[in-house]
Amino acid sequence: MNYHHQSREFALEAPKTLGMHDIQPYVFEEMRLILELSFAVRYLHGYAGIMVAASHNPAVYNGYKVYGEDGAQLPPADAEEVISYINEIDTELHIPMQDEHVMLKQNQLSYIGHNLDHVYVDYIKGLQQQEKLLEQ
């Protein structure tokens, strides 16, 4: 896989931080579409989802998007609240983080991938079939 500018490492920063607070993060093994992240948050009954992607930024930069438990991107008021917490951080390098390998060993971190892909594709196929039935 071709990661840009340490995207994979950056994508693990949030889960490793959450691990310090006994929050169970799920991380995709490889890059996925935002639509699948939205589905995964709802399917796994997650509180939030985080997408690290260039998106609207130039491709050389990583962007950071947060999605709520409904699978939608945070509305402006909620995003501003998150940003206010981020702005309170003096030095990002001093944020305590759990080690990825320790988290895996203690089942505090779960990698997700192809199994969820199949569930997602089946879900999309089901929607397409429902649409076809409604057209009849």
Return the active site residues. Answer: 55
| Secondary structure letter of residue 75 according to DSSP | P
Q: How many Å apart are CA 7 and CA 1, to the nearest integer?
A: 11
CA nearest neighbour of 103 among 24, 48, 14 = 24
Given a contact cutoff of 8 angstroms between Cβ atoms, the answer to whether 17 and 97 are in contact is: yes
Query: Hey, what are 54's tokens?
Result: 């260039």
Query: Whole-angstrom Cα distance, residue 116 to residue 120?
Result: 6
